[in-house]
């Protein structure tokens, strides 16, 4: 694995801004950043039981990009500074921090949130600006860490992905409920699904999944719609494999729709269940006539795999 293709070191540009300023700042950074890469670090809040994971709009967002030192012209940095100053007259935009990073610093600074990550047993996620040589049989997903949840790093995503690797057979049909960045839907196609449908109630997730599908050359292989599962929702079919990485409360709310989406003989993977809520999820899905066939845990997070009797 090479951490980057740039031997000359990097300039990191970083600025804190409020939520309304994120898009214009990210657009500005993308114009100058290496391979148009931008990272948006949003402050999250979450209840003690893992419920209500959401962005906290009251705290500032950090936006970063990296320029290869060899390409970084002083007048470009000046242009960025000036553009930020204009934006700062309408929104809250902090001062631009410019930091030189040696290769190791840069690699380390990014390891914690986004660079190249093995997220399953044979699936790796990488940022667009990284070079990576896959091992044989390994699948590499290129994801731009945009505004939607799902860089592949969260334990719930890793759990769901490992189950996908274990249960998906080539040629099967899949639906990914709560697709976020589309990471699981993309992985499903790359691991041999015949067709993949994906839904999310957030428009930003639908957009981001479409972009990420295209980025991986999979447009036309994943159908993405805004919505969920259940009556009146975009997809009414039955699938060999249903993936839902959301949270316990919503999984329980969506139970009937999720169960109806599984073909007889098919598999349902539930992820996003925080430990104290596991009994409630087990109760709900046992009562729906499914058989629990697998369970795995990373930290406080649990994934459950159910089989629907044929």
Which chain residues interact with ligand SAH by CB under 6 A? 148-150, 154, 157, 160, 177-180, 183-184, 199-202, 205, 228, 245-246, 250, 254
8 Å CB contact between 60 and 17: yes
Pairing of strands 44-45, 54-55: antiparallel
Shortest Å distance, C-beta 38 to ligand SAH? 19
Residues 6+ apart with CB under 8 A from 66: 10, 11, 12, 13, 33, 34, 37, 101, 106, 129
Comparison of 13 and 247: residue with beta carbon closer to ligand SAH: 247
Shortest Å distance, C-beta 209 to ligand SAH? 9
Enclosing H/E stretch for 90: helix 74-90
Question: In what side-by-side order are the strands of the sheet with 139-142?
Answer: 116-118, 123-126, 139-142
Shortest Å distance, C-beta 92 to ligand SAH? 26
Comparison of 66 and 167: residue with beta carbon closer to ligand SAH: 167
Distance CA 59, CA 56 (A): 6
Comparison of 183 and 281: residue with beta carbon closer to ligand SAH: 183
8 Å CB contact between 201 and 228: yes
Comparison of 63 and 196: residue with beta carbon closer to ligand SAH: 196
Comparison of 128 and 265: residue with beta carbon closer to ligand SAH: 128
Q: Where are the beta strands (DSSP E) in 228-309?
A: 239-245, 262-274, 291-298, 301-307
Shortest Å distance, C-beta 132 to ligand SAH? 20
Distance CA 72, CA 101 (A): 13
Residue 206's φ and ψ, nearest 5 degrees, are: -60, -45
Shortest Å distance, C-beta 143 to ligand SAH? 10
Shortest Å distance, C-beta 64 to ligand SAH? 21
Comparison of 16 and 156: residue with beta carbon closer to ligand SAH: 156
């Amino acid at each position: 694995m090479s951490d980057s293709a740039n031997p000359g070191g990097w300039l990191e540009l970083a600025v804190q801004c409020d939520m309304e300023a994120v898009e214009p700042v990210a657009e500005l950074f993308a114009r100058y950043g290496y391979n148009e890469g931008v990272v948006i670090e949003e402050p999250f809040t979450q209840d003690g039981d893992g419920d209500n994971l959401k962005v906290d709009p009251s705290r500032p967002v950090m936006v970063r990009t990296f320029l290869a030192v060899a390409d970084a012209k002083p007048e470009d940095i000046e242009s960025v500074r000036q553009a930020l100053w204009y934006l700062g007259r309408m929104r809250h935009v902090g001062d631009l921090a410019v930091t030189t990073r040696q290769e190791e610093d840069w690699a380390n600074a990014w390891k914690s949130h986004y660079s190249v990550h093995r997220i399953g047993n044979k699936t790796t996620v990488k940022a667009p600006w990284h070079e990576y040589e896959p091992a044989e049989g390994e699948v590499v997903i290129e994801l731009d860490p945009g505004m939607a949840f799902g860089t592949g790093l969260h334990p719930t995503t890793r759990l769901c992905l490992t189950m996908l690797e274990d249960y998906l057979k080539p040629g099967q049909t899949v639906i990914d409920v709560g697709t976020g960045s589309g990471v699981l839907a993309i992985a499903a196609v790359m691991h041999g699904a015949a067709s993949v449908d994906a839904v999310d109630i957030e428009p930003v997730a639908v957009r981001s999944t479409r972009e990420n599908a295209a980025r991986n050359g999979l447009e036309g292989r994943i159908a993405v719609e805004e919505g969920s599962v259940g009556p009146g929702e975009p997809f009414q079919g039955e699938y060999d494999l249903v993936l839902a990485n959301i949270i316990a409360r919503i999984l329980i709310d969506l139970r009937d729709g999720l169960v109806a989406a599984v073909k007889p003989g098919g598999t349902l993977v539930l992820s996003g269940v925080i430990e104290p809520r596991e009994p409630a999820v087990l109760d709900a899905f046992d009562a729906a006539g499914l058989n629990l066939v697998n369970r795995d845990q990373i930290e406080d997070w649990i994934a459950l795999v159910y089989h629907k009797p044929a």
